[in-house]
Amino acid sequence: MTTTIWHKKTIEEYLTALGSKSETPAGGVQAAFIGAQACAMACMSVQFTLSNKKYNDLHPKAALWLETLQLAQSTMLDLMQKDSRCFTKAMEIWRLPKETENRKEKMQEGFRLALHAPKLMVQTMINMYPIFKEIILEGNVNLVSDSLIAGECAVTATISALLNVKINTIYISDNCEKEKLQAAIIDWEKQAEQFSIFLKKQRETRFR
């Protein structure tokens, strides 16, 4: 079976597939796509910072921003594919006949597969929050609205991926594993909320 590379499709083709009854792309793929968009939007703001002589002193730092953002964008595109593959495999497992040997253990494998890529998406986005903040606070002021849009997309990607982690964590039967995941979820939600509060404050103060 040929694997569809979603990020190489046209936007129209991708959206048509997303809106169809097919199993993929679904929420996890979309979360990664939004994360990649967040990074791309931030890259644009950085490019206009690098091309402006007014920000010459910031150029070395901005060059590092750009490199890190491009790497994160590539990671999120890769995670679109990873989520699609993992979710397809999970669905195959969940459809196993009830009389299948070791079915319960296989079902658990399916839930772990389904939350694997979204967990990596959350971690990738949260690790990028400091750079998004720096771009908003220090980058080209003429691009502040674009920088804020990038930040909002980053939060949306985080929360979207978190929803996929949470729904599959519910079904993890190993209590120790579940508790670790639940603790991580609480921490990730807190970090997303703090970043969202920062963005709200910037929206309220930067456009007066």
Residues 6+ apart with CB under 8 A from 90: 110, 111, 113, 114
> Torsions phi, psi of 171, nearest 5?
-95, 0
Give the residue extent of every domain in the chain. 26-77+118-205
Q: What is the pLDDT of residue 91?
A: 86
Cis peptide before 25 (omega within 30 of 0): yes
Kindly report, residue by residue over 148-172, the tens digit of the pLDDT: 999 999 999 999 999 999 999 999 9
**Does the pLDDT value for residue 32 go beyond 60?**
yes
Summarised one tens digit per residue, pLDDT across range 36-79 is 999 999 999 999 999 999 999 999 999 999 999 999 999 999 99
Mean pLDDT of the residues in the chain:
94
162: Cβ contacts below 8 Å, ≥ 6 apart: 118, 122, 185, 188, 189, 192
Count of other CB atoms within 10 angstroms of residue 165 = 24
Q: Is the dihedral of CA 182, 185, 187, 190 positive or negative?
A: negative
Mean pLDDT of 129-138: 98
Residue bearing the bigger pLDDT, 137 or 5 = 137
d(CA 73, CA 183): 27
The CATH architecture that domain 26-77+118-205 belongs to is Up-down Bundle (1.20)
Rounded CA gap, 40 and 138, in Å?
18
| pTM of the full structure | 0.93
Among the ranges 6-15, 16-25, 146-155, which has the highest mean pLDDT value?
146-155
Return the pLDDT at 1.
Answer: 45
Q: Say how many residues make up the chain.
A: 208
